A and B are shown apart, each in its own frame.
Chain A
Amino acid sequence: DIQMTQSPSTLSASVGDRVSITCRASQSISSWMAWYQQKPGKAPKLLIYKASNLESGVPSRFSGSGSGTEFTLTISSLQPDDFATYYCQQYNGYPYTFGQGTKLDIK
């Protein structure tokens, strides 16, 4: 199975900050990467697909980059609604696998 490793596990930041979350794959996954946001008690919500494509309705302050084994989710200017847990997911090969999550909380 392809292992997905996110860093950091926890990130403390303030409203207005620019933050980045990294996800590393145990082998190359080309651009077959998605990012999700999850809030407590809710299902994950798709933010980014194919590494850098913004899902419809997702604010443009979210962006994704990378290819191969290293990927980044960036939030350009944190808003109060953005404090949540973020997950990466690879769909290069079955079984599809997720990172362990990065919890973004208020500093």
Chain B
Amino acid sequence: QVQLQESGPGVVKPSESVSLTCTVSGGSVSVYYWSWLRQSPEKGLEWIGYIYKSVNTNYNPILESRVTISVDTSKNQFSLKLTSVTAADTAVYYCARGGGSWFDRWGQGTLVTVSS
């Protein structure tokens, strides 16, 4: 049974970067698509991007200039880095398996608040 767990800072200052990590158990990050999504009251559910087979990435155009998704196969983790954050980036961030179609396994989510 694949399980995902997000980790990262809860609060980030405006204009700084935030890095989140998703630890995967019960499956390998070297196969399947792995995505990051976020959810806020203002924007709803929003797909951020995916990584596939450790090197292929695809990002939402509205975030593409500020987003990097990478994989650490030795730790079976994948990560999100979002730069130049503003209050509009405040959201619950989810990691999920999927990105080539539907999302069938999700982490429990981690709240990121952008505040000085």
Point out residues on A near B: beta carbons under 8 Å. 32, 34, 36, 42-46, 49, 55, 87, 89, 91, 94-101
Q: Are A43 and B44 in contact (CB under 8 A)?
A: no
Encoded as 1 (CB less than 8 Å from any A CB) or 0, chain B from 35 to 77 comes to 0000000001111000000000010111000000000000000
CA of A32 to CA of B108, assembled, Å: 25
A97-B47, A100-B44 are known contacts; what are 9 more A-B pairs with Cβ within 8 Å? A34-B103, A43-B106, A43-B108, A44-B103, A46-B104, A49-B104, A89-B45, A96-B47, A99-B44
Query: B32 to nearest A CB, angstroms?
Result: 14
* Complex A-B: 14 CB contacts under 8 Å: A34-B102, A34-B103, A36-B103, A43-B94, A44-B103, A45-B106, A87-B45, A91-B100, A91-B102, A94-B58, A95-B47, A95-B61, A96-B99, A99-B44
Contact flag A44-B101 (CB < 8 Å), given A94-B58, A95-B60, A95-B61: no
Point out residues on B near A: beta carbons under 8 Å. 44-47, 58, 60-62, 94, 96, 99-104, 106-109
CA of A100 to CA of B46, assembled, Å: 10
Contacts of A34 in B (CB 8 A): 101-103
Q: How many A-B residue pairs have CB under 8 A?
A: 49
Q: Are B45 and A32 in contact (CB under 8 A)?
A: no
Contact flag A98-B44 (CB < 8 Å), given A43-B94, A43-B109: yes
Q: Are B109 and A98 in contact (CB under 8 A)?
A: no
Query: B105 to nearest A CB, angstroms?
Result: 8
Q: Are A89 and B102 in contact (CB under 8 A)?
A: yes
Contact flag A55-B104 (CB < 8 Å), given A95-B60, A98-B44: yes
Query: B51 to nearest A CB, angstroms?
Result: 14
Most chain B CB atoms below 10 A, which of A44, A55, A87, A95: A95
Q: Which 6 A-B pairs have the closest CB atoms?
A: A43-B106, A34-B102, A98-B45, A95-B60, A49-B102, A96-B47
